[in-house]
């Protein structure tokens, strides 16, 4: 990759091509549990390089505003959330959920001084257990996302997010790399309670998958083909939805999983994990496993979203377990296995040094689609793909087909979300 293309794809601050494109989407910003009730403590939030404060006012309205008071720059994280506004404790200036200053105690109300002061603010909306932020032009605001899980009840879904200490793109690229599953996660597919004892886990033994990749309305169908029974292929279909969502091919009767890699800044991102089942409630066992950091969730450093296994403790690598084959990499947990290697590349990997091969075709095509969309927005004002809610109403799938059949022969049944129906998975 040329260095200028690497810069284009990885930089997401305001004014950059990718940053401006990201601002045309609703971004998963917070779990709704982070702002649980009116007048609860405000929360610091950094998105696309911008430092913000989120709060829920006395009427339950959500606000996402500039972190810093317009008076002398105090962080409003220290503010008092009271009487439908966030009051700076330094001199009492108060701001509502739109960023409008409503009180400057040192100035006469009749002067109208407060009305002249307004902080930058963005819409923050609640849907499906997630608080979504839109940071683009107001006139371009799209409908809220239409992912299947946004319409499911709380007992059908389990969400988490974790800090990942690297650029969003190298984290995302791991999510569309179906080839690494047969290596990095090979031991875990037979041990993790939410993956083991499925046919799909057994078919991962074929470590030389072939790929077919097609554009969808909102992203890509990424189809990885492995040998199954004689005359048949095992297919894993990953859904990529612009700009940073992936839906992971499922295993047996387990729940579906998806990811989003949301840039905090150019050297950090939040890795979201969405686990859900459209046709049944999650079991107590599944929730217990995920609460304990199983499946593709993690344990945290208490009071933070940073994984307990992180770069400061070498991800708790166990060389003895690696040598014995208990884990392929010596690191426990599917999510941390991914994060450890992606963070090892450095804050922003130098893609000019890469040597790509056929199993990287999904990554090549995703980069191309991202680049084209960002430049089309910059140069032509063309809206990027994957904004419309219908683009989100898809599913990943796994299945076995005769070797003469296209993976798309079951597209309507397997790859599109239909309320209340079972996913297609083995």
Q: All domains of the chain, ordered by start, with CATH?
A: 26-140 (2.102.10.10), 148-414 (3.90.380.10)
What residues does 416 pair with on adjacent strands? Answer: 394
Separation between Cα atoms, residue 205 and residue 135, nearest integer Å = 44
Q: Which of 248, 243, 239 is nearest to 263 (CA)?
A: 243
Q: What is the DSSP string of 59-85?
A: TS-EEEEESB-TTT--BGGG-EE-SSS
Average pLDDT over residues 21-48: 98
What backbone phi and psi angles, to 5 degrees, belong to 143?
A: -60, 160
Planar angle of CA 132, 133, 135, nearest 5 degrees: 155
Average pLDDT over residues 133-151: 97
Average pLDDT over residues 368-389: 97
Q: Are 131 and 144 in contact (CB under 8 A)?
A: no
207 — pLDDT class (breaks 50, 70, 90): confident
Q: What is the DSSP string of 255-293?
A: PEEEEEEEEEETTEEEEEEEEE-SSSPPPHHHHHHHHTT
Tokens 């997010």 sit on residue: 161
CB-based burial, 238-270: b 16+ in 10 Å, e otherwise: bbbbbbbbbbbbbbbebbbbbbbbbbbbbebbb
Structure token pair of residue 255: 């729940």
Separation between Cα atoms, residue 135 and residue 141, nearest integer Å = 9
Examine the pLDDT at 201 and tell me if it is beyond 80.
no
Q: Please tell me the predicted confidence (pLDDT) of residue 283.
A: 96
Separation between Cα atoms, residue 270 and residue 244, nearest integer Å = 11
* More confident position, 263 or 426: 263
Q: What is the DSSP string of 324-365?
A: HTSSSSS--SHHHHHHHHHHHT-SS--GGG----GGGHHHHH
Q: What share of the chain in percent tops pLDDT 90?
A: 90
Average pLDDT over residues 142-147: 98
Separation between Cα atoms, residue 415 and residue 393, nearest integer Å = 9
Separation between Cα atoms, residue 54 and residue 33, nearest integer Å = 12
* Mean pLDDT score of the chain: 95
Q: Supply the pTM of this predicted model.
A: 0.94
Average pLDDT over residues 355-371: 95
Average pLDDT over residues 392-402: 97
Structure token pair of residue 380: 């032509």
179 — pLDDT class (breaks 50, 70, 90): confident
For the stretch 235-272, pLDDT in tens is 999 999 999 999 999 988 899 999 999 999 999 999 99
Q: Cβ–Cβ contacts within 10 Å for residue 309, how many?
A: 23
Separation between Cα atoms, residue 142 and residue 194, nearest integer Å = 35
Average pLDDT over residues 6-31: 98
Separation between Cα atoms, residue 380 and residue 399, nearest integer Å = 41
Structure token pair of residue 353: 């040094």
Q: Please tell me the predicted confidence (pLDDT) of residue 196.
A: 63
How much is the CA Rg of the chain, to the nearest whole Å? 23
83 — pLDDT class (breaks 50, 70, 90): very high
Residue 334 CB burial class (10 angstroms; 0-12, 13-18, ≥19): buried
């Amino acid at each position: 990759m040329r260095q200028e293309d690497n810069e284009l794809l990885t930089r997401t601050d305001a004014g950059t091509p990718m940053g401006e494109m990201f601002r045309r989407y609703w971004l998963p910003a917070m779990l709704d549990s982070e702002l649980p009730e009116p007048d609860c403590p405000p929360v610091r939030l950094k998105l696309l390089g911008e430092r913000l404060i989120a709060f829920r006012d006395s009427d339950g309205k959500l606000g996402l505003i500039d972190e810093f008071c317009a008076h002398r720059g105090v962080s409003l994280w220290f503010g008092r959330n009271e009487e439908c506004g966030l009051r700076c404790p330094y001199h009492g200036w108060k701001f509502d959920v739109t960023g409008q200053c409503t009180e400057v105690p040192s100035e006469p109300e009749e002067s109208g001084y407060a009305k002249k002061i307004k902080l930058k603010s963005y819409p923050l909306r609640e849907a499906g257990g997630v608080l979504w932020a839109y940071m683009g032009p107001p006139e371009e605001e799209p409908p809220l996302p239409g992912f299947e899980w946004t319409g499911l009840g709380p007992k059908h879904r389990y969400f988490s997010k974790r800090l990942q200490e690297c650029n969003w793109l190298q984290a995302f690229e791991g999510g569309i790399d179906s080839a690494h599953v047969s290596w990095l996660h090979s031991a875990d597919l037979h041990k993790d309670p939410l993956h083991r004892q499925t046919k799909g886990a057994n078919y991962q033994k074929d470590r030389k998958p072939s790929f077919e990749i097609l554009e969808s309305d909102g992203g890509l169908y990424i189809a990885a083909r492995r040998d199954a029974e004689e005359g048949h292929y095992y297919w894993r279909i990953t859904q990529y939805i612009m700009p940073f969502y992936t839906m992971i091919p499922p295993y047996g009767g387990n729940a579906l999983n998806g990811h989003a890699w949301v840039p905090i800044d150019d050297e950090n991102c939040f890795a979201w994990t969405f686990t859900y089942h459209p046709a049944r409630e999650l079991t107590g066992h599944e929730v217990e496993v995920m609460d304990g950091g199983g499946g593709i969730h993690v344990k945290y450093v208490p009071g933070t979203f940073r994984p307990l296994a992180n770069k400061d403790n070498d991800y708790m690598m166990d060389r003895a377990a690696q040598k014995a084959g208990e884990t392929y990499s010596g690191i426990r947990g599917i999510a941390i296995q991914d994060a450890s290697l992606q963070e090892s590349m450095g804050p922003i990997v130098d893609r000019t040094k890469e040597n790509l091969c056929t199993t990287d075709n999904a990554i090549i095509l995703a980069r191309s689609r991202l680049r084209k969309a960002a430049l089309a927005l910059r140069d032509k004002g063309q809206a990027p793909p994957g904004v419309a809610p219908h683009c989100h109403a898809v599913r990943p799938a796994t299945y076995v087909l005769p070797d003469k059949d296209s993976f798309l022969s079951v597209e309507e049944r397997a790859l599109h979300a239909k309320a209340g129906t079972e996913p297609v998975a083995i």
